[in-house]
Amino acid sequence: MKKATFLICIILSTFSSCKQTVKSDNPFFREFDTPFEVPPFELIKPSHFMPAYLKGFEEQKKEIKAIITNPDPPSFDNTIKALEYSGQLLTKVSRVFGSLNSANTNDSLQAINREVAPLTSKHRDDISMNDSLFQRIKLVYENMGKLRLTDEEKKILDDTYKNFVRSGSALSPEDKKKVRKINQELSRLSVRFGENLLAETNGFKLIIDKKEDLTGLPEGIISQAANMAKSLKMDGKWIFTLQVPSMTPFLQYSDRRDLRKKLFTGYFMKGDNDNQNDNKAIIANIAKLRIEKAHILGYNSHADFIIERNMAKTPEKVFDFLGQVWAAALPVAKSEVTAQRYLINREGGKLKPEPWDWWYYTEKIKKEKFDLDDEVTRPYFKIDNVIDGMFYVANQLYGLVFTKRTDIPKYQPDVVTFEVTRNNKHVGILMIDNFPRPSKRGGAWCGAFRGQSRDIKGKMISPVVTMVTNSTPPTDDKPALLTLDEANTLFHEFGHALHQLLSNCTYPGVSGTSVPRDFVELPSQIMEHWVLEPEVLKVYAKHYQTGEIIPEAIVEKLEKAGKFNIGFLTVEYLAAALLDMEYHSLNEPVELDIREFENKVLDKYGLIPEIKPRYRSTYFNHIWNSGYAAGYYSYIWCEILDADAFQAFKETGNIFNKEVAGRFEEEILSKGGTKDPFDMYIAFRGKEPGIDALLENRGLK
């Protein structure tokens, strides 16, 4: 299933009028003099960002001025292309800043982010609400039929015009002012949401000082907790955090129900503790401002505004689709509760299962039913081996070769860097950053320090891609041994990375992962299908001590257990997706009571009390701070596509079928956002997929 994965594609474009201090030692003001022009991280100081941003704003402002004062009549080249290639310094600095602020932040970066977010929003509005610029774009757009343009150019012209309209270009001066004010406020609020969430996640620790309180926990998990304590100078104790690799095993194995409750409550109350990090008022404000903005732009709700540009096109279609899956999944989740009750009864217990019991009893049932638990498979999923496995798949499918490089700058010692080549030709750089730390936000994502495109003269610019996860870290005596779920996450993010690495576009605005939200998970989720294929397991799933390949008996159990707990996984995900849709389908800017609203929504759908949504409102980073508003449904929407697309390989009897892989690369991975996603999919598959492939894939049929 799709976990806390998301993709960041932060391409900020911005401006300010503050005074600037341009220092000649600022690395952003020079070409990066490093292998493959990777950012020279060791030279970049926090003090370099602000001057680079300010100069970036100023440069782009000049470029825009040159476009609108051009005496020649508006053309594709002097308007659309010139706009596409403007703001290069800004893109350069904002990609580095955005990536670092997510994966390796500190007080200085957070302070810069607070300052730069509203400036960015203002700069973006200055461009998108510039009437002279809009009039030129409009003229080119209206003459599109008469121009000799490539398909990619047509698409970028269409996107540019529509994005300007959607940003408020066609509004009255008074309404433009209102939208600007809302954008400023929204950028400030989402920064605060993210900061509060990081503080809440780092602020809670379950500290255990008596060995008997560790009852039920496997040895590996205990030593991981001891390591955590040691790193916090609390030698001799054990610490569990709200990070998934620390929390989930505790919930699975700890026999201490009171402690499970304490830890999980710490998790699901994040941002809802009525303290200085509380996110309720912030969310209520964001939701309200989004509705106000949608109304000014002529939409009924924020969901209408967002989904119009997605594959789904309307919120009704999304609700209808989610409703169908919900109806199939809820009874399965209920039957899973019944199984838990049955087990509790048999053990002579009287308790009623609560949300902090789910993982514990599920683990027991899994053990009983399939004789399988995460601790049995971990030794076969050493992180380096899993990475080798995903590289093997990419090699078989696309002929890519990954070579470890130690001469390339990195932003943190944990980062491992690879050069990607094909037929001895450079394709791009891939950085992988796997372990949790307080400076990293939760979840997993893929981004890029530089996206693929061609420069204005047509020369190829190769991508520098980064994959970030929060996987189980190594301990003193063991390497990083992953759960199957974590192995899936690696393959997932690697799929996003391939989408960027194999992009073959001209214009930066449509390259790589610049596709609608409800299409972008196809390249990532399809990769998850290879994780458990026996042919692939044989290559990478080797015991970390003996090198023995994962025994067939375990593989069989894994396959059998594949659909286990699917009711829960589907329902907790859908509950979050529905919550997102309900917030963003509101059509009146009311003052929301967040707890009340959340309860009302979950009651309406009949969510059972044993399950909490995967994200409660106050820590739902995807929708308040990460571009997934009215878009969290995308993961399961894309599953229709990835389940069906993987069938295209299966049907040939060869999961590495080169012809199918070639078509997938040609029609989808290389195309970026240069075509309508629906057309891309049809070009690959020849037909439209239905919901059946998804239900079958999940065993919900």
Distances (CA, A) of 157 to 142, 345, 354, 454: 10, 65, 53, 17
* Contact pattern from residue 472 through residue 511 relative to Zn ion, giving x for each residue in contact according to CB under 5 A and a dash for the rest: ----------------------------------------
Distances (CA, A) of 693 to 349, 516, 647, 699: 40, 21, 9, 10
**493 a catalytic residue:** yes
Nearest to Zn ion of 5, 310 (CB atom): 5
Largest CA distance in the chain: 86
Rounded distance between C-alpha atoms, residue 142 and residue 453, angstroms: 27
Piece of 203-211, 474-482, 517-525, 566-574 that binds Zn ion (CB under 5 A): 517-525
Rounded distance between C-alpha atoms, residue 239 and residue 237, angstroms: 7
Nearest to Zn ion of 415, 468 (CB atom): 468
Nearest to Zn ion of 160, 469 (CB atom): 469
Bridge-based pairing state of the strands 416-422 and 425-433: antiparallel
Whether the CA torsion 253, 434, 12, 20 is positive or negative: it is: positive
3-class secondary structure, 592: coil
Residue type, 410: K
Rounded distance between C-alpha atoms, residue 410 and residue 444, angstroms: 18
Bridge-based pairing state of the strands 401-405 and 416-422: antiparallel
Surface-to-core class of residue 457, CB atoms within 10 Å of its CB (0-12 exposed, 13-18 middle, 19+ buried): exposed
Nearest to Zn ion of 176, 440 (CB atom): 440
Residue 415 token pair: 């980062």
Element (H, E) at 258: helix 257-268
Nearest to Zn ion of 524, 697 (CB atom): 524
User: Are the CB atoms for 397 and 464 separated by under 8 Å?
Assistant: no
**HSE on the CB side for 255, CA within 13 Å?**
8
Nearest to Zn ion of 79, 570 (CB atom): 570
User: Are the CB atoms for 77 and 143 separated by under 8 Å?
Assistant: no
Judged by CB under 5 A, the chain residues 519 through 578 that form the site for Zn ion are: 521, 524
Rounded distance between C-alpha atoms, residue 93 and residue 54, angstroms: 10
Residue 513 within binding range of Zn ion, rule CB under 5 A = no
> What's the min distance (Å) between Cβ of 639 and Zn ion?
11
> What's the min distance (Å) between Cβ of 465 and Zn ion?
14
* Residue carrying the six token digits 């917030």: 583
Nearest to Zn ion of 518, 521 (CB atom): 521
Rg (CA), the chain: 25
Nearest to Zn ion of 319, 635 (CB atom): 635
> What's the min distance (Å) between Cβ of 446 and Zn ion?
7
Rounded distance between C-alpha atoms, residue 193 and residue 279, angstroms: 6
Rounded distance between C-alpha atoms, residue 182 and residue 176, angstroms: 10
> What's the min distance (Å) between Cβ of 103 and Zn ion?
16
- Site residue total, Zn ion (CB under 5 A): 3
> What's the min distance (Å) between Cβ of 634 and Zn ion?
9
Piece of 293-301, 418-426, 514-522, 533-541 that binds Zn ion (CB under 5 A): 514-522
Residue type, 71: P
Q: What is the DSSP string of 556-585?
A: HHHHHGGGTTHHHHHHHHHHHHHHHHHHHH
Burial code of 105-122, b = ≥16 C-beta within 10 A, e = fewer?
Answer: beeebbebbebbbbbbbb
Residues in the chain: 701
Residue 419 carries which DSSP code? E
User: Are the CB atoms for 93 and 60 separated by under 8 Å?
Assistant: no
Bridge-based pairing state of the strands 425-433 and 464-468: parallel
Nearest to Zn ion of 189, 574 (CB atom): 574
Piece of 23-31, 90-98, 294-302, 515-523 that binds Zn ion (CB under 5 A): 515-523
> What's the min distance (Å) between Cβ of 431 and Zn ion?
17
Nearest to Zn ion of 14, 524 (CB atom): 524
Distances (CA, A) of 625 to 60, 196, 320, 629: 26, 11, 26, 9
Residue tagged active-site, from 58, 375, 493, 598: 493
Instruction: Single out the residue of 5, 241, 475, 657 in contact with Zn ion (rule: CB under 5 A).
Output: 5
User: Any idea which residues carry the catalytic annotation?
Assistant: 493
Residues that bind Zn ion (CB under 5 A): 5, 521, 524
